[in-house]
Amino acid sequence: MNLQTRSEAKLSNGSTTLVNGAHEVSFRKEEAGADNELPIQVTFRVLNGISHTVRGFLTASGEVKARCYVTEQGRWSWEAKNQEGRCIGMGDFQALASNLPGKLALHENDNRQFRYSNGKWYLHFGDTSYLYLDRDESRWKAYIDQAAQAGFTKIRTSLCDSSGSTAALFDPNRKGLDLESWDEFDNRILYALERYPHIQLQLIPFGSDWSEYQKYGDGDPLSHLAIRYAQERFSALPNVHWCMANHTGVENGPGESTSAMDEIIKRMGADMREGDQFGSLITLMQDRFSDFRFADERWCNIVSISHIGQVTGEAVLKHRALANKPVTLDEDRSECEDPPQFPRYYFRRLFWGTLLSGGHPTYIGLKTDKAYDDHRSGIQGYYDACNNGRLRKGAHDFLHIRKFFLDTGIILVRWIPDDAMSGNNPLLVKSMRSPDNNECIAYVANPDAHNGHSPNRLEGLHTDKISGASETFTTFTLELPFSNGTVKWFSPASGEWKGQTETTKNSTTLLTPAPEDWVVWVKRK
């Protein structure tokens, strides 16, 4: 069965699939002789010699399934064996060329940037929806549909329930897995994959349930089974990668962690890397303000940080120096917890500031680790939440950022954060240049009160306009790596281009074409 789109899953017996999609085989439990521990093993092989041997997984309906991420065009074969090593099925399928984006990977030309398997640069617009997979949350379809509409490309979500515990993973007596819960996880992951294959789901297996991590460290068989089962079921899916822990050390207070917990994390990370046949990226989230401690671990692909007030990107720049890996700012302010006074202005600044610092930004709207309460908690579509007043349009300008990169053709691979180019005052002008020194981008901030633009405070922005910016023009100087260039102006609040001018000097003083904030793109002639 082709797992990418229902419209293409028409042929019986799975005779075709698409490159950068996933292929699935299934059996009845009776014919497989399966149990939770080791249902079946299936080897998928393409004619050029690439092969993957994966474990199957049981479902609540009594099926045993196995999945393979398809990376190569051509004829693939598969063979399934039960626990005794007896062949219970063989087959083949044709993998066809496709335009599917595929799994997330590190960019081969810049390990601090991402790409899809198809080679296309991945523009990271993260969102947080911890309970997207919770079967008690009825608004999940509206959430993912509207997340796609708003331009998000990554959703952080947990395999946990609204209590924040891992109870949903196991049956009530904790004697085995709750397969009905896992089937619902599967349903929602596939819904997103079939409709929005460009959106990555970053799965957090145990959420912030520290008792479960401790059980894993103590060798609890059921905790280990849950991790293996999660990988057997989801690692082959193109829209899945892993955040194996969320806010490690939070039980000890901000910035603290025990060496014992770190050792559990390291063991779990190594286990997950070994258990993933398809190279799914792995990261973890530590508690807020802490320095990332696992950048040198081989299993860790992404440096994920949690901070606050990072409109100028200091924490991203600091962590870029730790390792040649992407730095994602996965938590900052949210619209409902530690809220900025003017969310639309703040989150627009946060996203531009993070990108131009060489990082990857994430938004937080509602409080999504708690059940729906008709106010600030639970799952709801972004635009629905804006329309009913639960959110204040904090993510409305993200689509304009995408438009800027589409219009200019810029990808930030190997681009260099360079605030010195704009006077080393990133609170007012945040800048970046291309590796060949032929292009520069600067975000020109024009708040109506600079004290309200400090990293940890947003008081003082006394305006009800969507931008929260001053009504005066801004003058600033760029020290360009070239003399003759074309200057073009882009409004981050409207997504419109507002004219251009020419420069003939390396040191160029510019005046914004109108009040409020601006993005300036300068390109060598």
Q: In whole angstroms, what is the distance from residue 323 CA to residue 340 CA?
A: 31
378 and 231 share one domain: yes
291 and 425 share one domain: no
pLDDT for 459: 37
Contact assessment for residue 446 and residue 515, using Cβ atoms and an 8 Å cutoff = yes
244 part of a folded domain: yes
282 part of a folded domain: yes
270 and 204 share one domain: yes
> Domain residues for 50?
6-96
- Of residues 461 and 84, which shows the higher confidence score? 84
Those residues whose C-beta lies under 8 Å from the C-beta of residue 430, and which sit 6 or more positions away, are 312, 313, 352, 353, 356, 357, 419, 422, 442, 443, 445
pLDDT band of residue 38 (cuts 50, 70, 90) is: low
- Of residues 226 and 259, which shows the higher confidence score? 226
pLDDT, tens digit, 9 for 90 and up, residues 314-363: 999 999 998 999 999 999 999 988 888 889 999 999 999 999 999 999 99
pLDDT band of residue 188 (cuts 50, 70, 90) is: very high
pLDDT higher than threshold 80 for residue 258: no
368 and 438 share one domain: no
pLDDT for 370: 78
Q: In whole angstroms, what is the distance from residue 218 CA to residue 81 CA?
A: 31
Least trusted range by pLDDT, from 25-39, 204-218, 276-290, 434-448: 25-39
406 part of a folded domain: no
1 part of a folded domain: no
pLDDT for 14: 66
216 and 176 share one domain: yes
361 and 391 share one domain: yes
pLDDT for 33: 62
Per-residue pLDDT, averaged over 218-226, amounts to 95
pLDDT for 338: 83
Those residues whose C-beta lies under 8 Å from the C-beta of residue 474, and which sit 6 or more positions away, are 428, 444, 446, 511, 512, 515, 518
Least trusted range by pLDDT, from 101-105, 369-373, 497-501: 369-373
296 and 328 share one domain: yes
HEC letters along 289-302:
CCCCCCCCCCCCCC
CATH number, domain at 440? 2.60.40
CATH number, domain at 367? 3.20.20.80
- CA distance readout (Å), 337 to 333, 365, 369, 442: 7, 9, 12, 30
Predicted TM-score of the model (pTM): 0.91
387 and 449 share one domain: no
- Last-in-domain residue among 343, 370, 399: 399
227 and 157 share one domain: yes
133 part of a folded domain: yes
Q: In whole angstroms, what is the distance from residue 276 CA to residue 272 CA?
A: 6
pLDDT for 467: 44
- Which segment, 41-50, 146-155, 156-165, 450-459, is predicted with the most confidence on average? 146-155
pLDDT higher than threshold 80 for residue 251: no
Looking at the 3D structure of the chain, how many domains does it have?
A: 3
Least trusted range by pLDDT, from 59-68, 352-361, 405-414: 59-68
Per-residue pLDDT, averaged over 181-187, amounts to 96
pLDDT, tens digit, 9 for 90 and up, residues 357-380: 999 999 999 988 877 777 777 899
Give backbone dihedrals phi and psi of 144, rounded to 5 degrees, phi first: -70, -35
pLDDT for 54: 94
CATH number, domain at 47? 2.60.40.10
Per-residue pLDDT, averaged over 5-10, amounts to 34
160 part of a folded domain: yes
Q: In whole angstroms, what is the distance from residue 123 CA to residue 100 CA?
A: 16
- Alpha-helix residue ranges (DSSP H) falling in 276-419: 314-320, 343-355, 382-387, 398-408
304 and 386 share one domain: yes
349 and 494 share one domain: no
pLDDT for 449: 46
354 and 290 share one domain: yes
pLDDT higher than threshold 50 for residue 41: yes
pLDDT for 453: 40
- Last-in-domain residue among 33, 67, 96: 96
Q: What is the DSSP string of 484-514?
A: SEEEEEE-TTT--EEEEEEE-SSEEEEE-SS
pLDDT higher than threshold 50 for residue 49: yes
pLDDT higher than threshold 50 for residue 83: yes
pLDDT band of residue 473 (cuts 50, 70, 90) is: confident
pLDDT band of residue 163 (cuts 50, 70, 90) is: low
409 part of a folded domain: no
- CA distance readout (Å), 110 to 107, 383, 414: 5, 35, 6
- Last-in-domain residue among 38, 64, 96: 96
Contacts 24+ apart (CB under 8 A), 8-16: 13/91, 14/91, 14/93, 15/93, 15/94, 16/93, 16/94, 16/95, 16/96
pLDDT band of residue 466 (cuts 50, 70, 90) is: very low
Angle CA(245)–CA(142)–CA(133) in degrees, nearest 5?
A: 30
Structure tokens at 502: 């020419």
79 part of a folded domain: yes
pLDDT for 470: 58
